Amino acid sequence: MTKQVASLIFPKMGIGCWSYGGGDYWGDQAQSDVDAVTNAALDAGINFFDTAVGYNEGRSEQALGIALKHRRQEALIGTKTGDINPATLSKQVESSLQRLQTDYVDLYMIHWPDPKYPVDEVFETLIRLKTEGKIRAVGVCNYGHKQLSEGLSYGIPIETNQLCYNLLSRAIELEILPLCQQHKIGILAYMPLLQGILADRFKSVEEIPPQQSRFRHFRPDREMSKHGETGAEVEFWKTLEKIRQICREENQPMSQLAIAWVMAKSAVSCVLVGTRNTTELAKNLEAVNYVMTPNLEARLDSVTTPLLKEMGGNADYFWATRIQ
């Protein structure tokens, strides 16, 4: 299954490459596993790979470039930068092209909004690079309703918006998603498993380690928390238990239903799933082939809506301030 967004055709699932190249957050990642996942994904028709300058200090791009060296024409590559200074943006794109061992990037994205730089100047640079053939399409990540509206007011051709979206993180449904639909901007959904929480890895809320419990769902005194909000731990765990019960009734693994639920949303163009090895890829591919009934989708909507109402429409699950 594929979905066309402006000039690009996305598979329903893409490969999130944050772990590639290895780093502090995800630990070591062997190049042999990157090669194996990349080739197996392409063989299965999964041809979109999402990386970033900031993923492991550029090593993710480098590892992906090595893996795709002989199959570049089969792949869609998306990369992004958080440093959007117009004065240095061209050099950043050139550096990404070198690490990826390619002459062009299919989708180049702004990783996070940055009010320090004029929106029109940033996008003028990206559009010029598109005209030069170094970028096929321009997208954004983590842009809220206000930020996206500002970009659109300049007539900027934004093709995609990459956002956190999963059963436990549905904030984009309230304002951002309708705006994207109105302007035919594709949604690239990241963290469909909320970094393993929706893979049913934890049996109590206190088991969830600092990396995952830094999100807005959790108390502000958690070790890596930066959001400063009260959190919604009680409703969060209650919701997770309800999802777990539905999975038992359906006799399906939570990870499969969680990914399939995001894929079932018509506004979503592609679901980005972090995939470290071919075993994980095989499990994730089961979700691609799983047919979610409207009734099951509605049940999952229903049990997760109370958490959405408690947490509201703030789609920044990390800092609570950067998506506006």
In this predicted model, what pLDDT tens digit does every residue of 68-124 receive, in sequence order? 999 999 999 999 999 999 999 999 999 999 999 999 999 999 999 999 999 999 999
Task: Give the residue ranges of DSSP H helices in 20-144.
Answer: 31-43, 59-67, 89-100, 119-131
Question: 228 falls in which pLDDT band (50, 70, 90)?
Answer: very high
Comparing CA positions, the residue from 166, 191, 183 lying closest to residue 264 is: 166
| pLDDT of residue 47 exceeding 90 | yes
pLDDT band with cut points at 50, 70 and 90 for residue 7: confident
Residues 287-312 have a mean pLDDT of 96
**pLDDT at site 187:** 98
Calculate ∠ Cα 292-161-316, nearest 5°.
90
CA distance 26 to 36: 18
Reported confidence tier of residue 58, pLDDT bands at 50, 70, 90:
very high
Residues recognised as catalytic:
55
Confidence (pLDDT) at 2: 82
The pTM of the full predicted model, rounded to 2 decimals, is 0.97
- 161's CB contacts (< 8 A; 6+ apart) are 139, 140, 141, 143, 148, 176, 180, 185, 186, 187, 188
State yes or no: pLDDT of 238 exceeds 80. Answer: yes
Q: For residue 261, name the pLDDT band (cuts at 50, 70, 90).
A: very high
Average pLDDT over the chain, rounded to whole? Answer: 96
Q: What is the mean pLDDT of residues 131-142?
A: 97
Domains in the chain, CATH or no CATH each? 2-200+257-292 (3.20.20.100)
